[in-house]
């Protein structure tokens, strides 16, 4: 009887082992098969959406004693340290150090933007999603950016460095209209192009899905339009733009006029205002006169009102005269030409979140925060900007454009909100399964989600 039971036990153990082996092998086969069926995907972050590191050289001149090159004390062996995001920015004495090191300078003779003398900057781990997950890995709870989105992509079968990639960049720099140098921005476009080609080549020649957030969408659109149709057809499967400010924002006018702490407590907005004004990419986000109504007042003072067509006067009146020349020569011509790339596109945007639509300075003092008049949008970008491509490209041929609007989702929560993530992952799954329609003529499709 004992021998019989032993035989049964052994037989049962063998069957269980075989079943577990089959399950394990089946899981591996499914995972491998799923991975092989996925088009490579590249994430392009928005303004302030990735880590930034700095290094100080002998040419660096501190703005105060507390900003001496010894600070911060904890640096890597080669002198690099975290510039964005570092918690020391919350402390008033160090906020000035941060602002001076982040400030860009426009050289009119060279017609380009540069770091402060003695400040070198770099973006860590280009090609990986590492610096997009958290702006500071030591402060994960308060600086999460794309971590939840990346986790959702991993559940779909994506693996960082294999078929999932990140394209972080120095978000202070933007691009300029043709004929003007843009050393840092142009290098990023070239690096992104190379990453796209490498991602495709390392995945059996499959074309790439590009997923951008916010400002990243403007960079991606420029990349597509600056490369020939043959290149786009070979390397680009689909472009998904999340919360893209195609026509700029009223909120950025608040940043230029009064400084913007972005909700960070204890920080004096006037300390960071000059640094924010110096950002080339912030000029690129000014309300586009092609998309905002010329009769619509965006800023009101006792003396006058400013529409999207009055940006030059606005820059002068807030005391930022030095921003006028690069705006007129480099940025405005760039805004004027937003071409359809003839690449299948999906725009996913939030709606129904109160968004600054007009700034009212009753005393005419831009050093004081204004009163806000609100309208529809995602809390940061106005609806007219989020939906601008529908209007701009309505008569274009060979351009497929799908727009998904999600109620109650803000500019940044779109990267972690459950409903938004379901839409994003669902769209990526449909693209991978070839479920979307391939239309030869322009198709404007709009979905409204509750």
pLDDT of residue 443: 59
Higher-confidence position of 13 and 61? 61
CA atoms within 13 A on the CB side of 34: 14
- pLDDT tens string 295-352: 999 999 999 999 999 999 999 999 999 999 999 999 999 999 999 999 999 999 999 9
Do 105 and 275 contact (CB within 8 A), yes or no? no
- Whether the CB-CB separation of 73 and 82 falls below 8 Å is answered with no
Residue 244 tokens, joined: 């893209």
Beta bridge partners of 82: 53
pLDDT digits (tens, 9 = 90+) for 270-295: 999 999 999 999 999 999 999 999 99
| Dihedral pair phi/psi, residue 331, rounded to 5° | -90, -50
Q: Does a cis peptide bond (omega within 30 degrees of 0) precede residue 133? A: no
pLDDT, greater one: 91 or 180: 180
Question: In 3-state terms, what secondary structure has residue 340?
Answer: coil
Q: Which helix (H) or strand (E) holds 39?
A: none
- Chain CA centroid to CA 371, Å: 28
pLDDT band of residue 77 (cuts 50, 70, 90) is: confident
The region, left, alpha or beta by phi > 0 then psi within -120 to 50, assigned to residue 409 is beta
What is the pLDDT, as a whole number, of residue 32?
43
Structure tokens at 30: 């499914």
Please indicate, yes or no, whether the overall pTM of this predicted structure exceeds 0.85: yes
Residues 56, 276, 285, 208, CA torsion sign: positive
CA distances (Å), origin 242, targets 11, 177, 213, 250:
56, 24, 5, 18
Q: Write the pLDDT tens digit of every residue in 357-372.
A: 999 999 999 999 999 9
Q: Is the pLDDT reported for residue 5 higher than 50?
A: no
Catalytic residues: 214, 378, 411
Domain boundaries, the chain: 39-51+123-449
Per-residue confidence (pLDDT) for residue 383, from 0 to 100: 98
Check whether domain 39-51+123-449 has CATH 3.40.1190.20, yes or no: no
């Amino acid at each position: 009887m004992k021998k019989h039971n032993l035989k049964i036990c052994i037989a049962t153990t063998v069957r269980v082992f075989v079943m577990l082996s089959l399950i394990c092998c089946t899981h591996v086969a499914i995972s491998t098969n799923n991975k092989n069926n996925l088009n490579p995907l590249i994430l392009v972050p928005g303004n302030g959406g990735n880590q930034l590191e700095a290094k100080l050289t002998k040419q660096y001149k501190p703005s105060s004693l507390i900003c001496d090159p010894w600070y911060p004390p904890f640096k890597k062996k080669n002198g690099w340290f975290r510039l964005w995001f570092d918690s020391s920015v919350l402390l008033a004495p160090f906020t000035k150090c941060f602002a001076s090191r982040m400030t860009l300078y426009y050289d009119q003779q060279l017609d380009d933007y540069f770091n402060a003398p003695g400040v070198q900057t770099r973006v860590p781990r280009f090609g990986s999603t590492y610096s997009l997950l958290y702006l500071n890995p030591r402060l994960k709870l308060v600086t999460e950016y794309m971590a939840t989105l990346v986790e959702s992509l991993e559940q779909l079968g994506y693996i960082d460095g294999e078929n999932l990639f990140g394209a972080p960049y120095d978000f202070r720099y933007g691009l300029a209209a043709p004929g003007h140098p843009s050393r840092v921005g142009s290098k990023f476009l070239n690096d992104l192009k190379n990453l796209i080609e490498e991602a495709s080549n390392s995945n059996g020649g499959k074309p790439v899905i590009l997923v951008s957030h916010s400002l990243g969408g403007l960079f991606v659109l420029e990349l597509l339009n600056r490369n020939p149709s043959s290149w786009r057809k070979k390397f680009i499967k689909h472009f998904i733009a999340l919360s893209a400010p195609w026509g700029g924002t009223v909120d950025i006018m608040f940043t230029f006029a009064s400084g913007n702490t972005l909700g960070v407590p204890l920080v004096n907005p006037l300390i960071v205002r000059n640094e924010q004004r110096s950002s080339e990419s912030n000029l690129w986000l000014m309300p586009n006169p092609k998309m905002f109504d010329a009769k619509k007042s965006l800023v009101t003072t006792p003396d006058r009102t400013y529409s999207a067509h009055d940006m030059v006067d606005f820059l002068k009146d807030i005391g930022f005269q030095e921003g006028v020349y690069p705006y007129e020569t480099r940025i405005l011509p760039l805004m004027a030409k937003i071409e359809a790339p003839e690449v299948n596109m999906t725009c996913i945007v939030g709606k129904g979140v109160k968004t600054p639509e007009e700034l009212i300075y009753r005393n005419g003092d831009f050093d004081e925060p204004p009163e806000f008049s609100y309208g529809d949008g995602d809390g940061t970008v106005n609806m007219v900007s989020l939906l601008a491509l529908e209007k701009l490209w309505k008569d274009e041929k060979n351009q497929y454009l799908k727009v998904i609007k999600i109620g109650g989702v803000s500019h940044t929560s779109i990267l972690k909100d459950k409903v938004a993530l379901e839409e994003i992952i669902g769209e990526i799954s449909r693209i991978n399964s070839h479920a979307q329609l391939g239309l030869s003529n322009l198709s404007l499709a709009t979905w409204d989600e509750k």
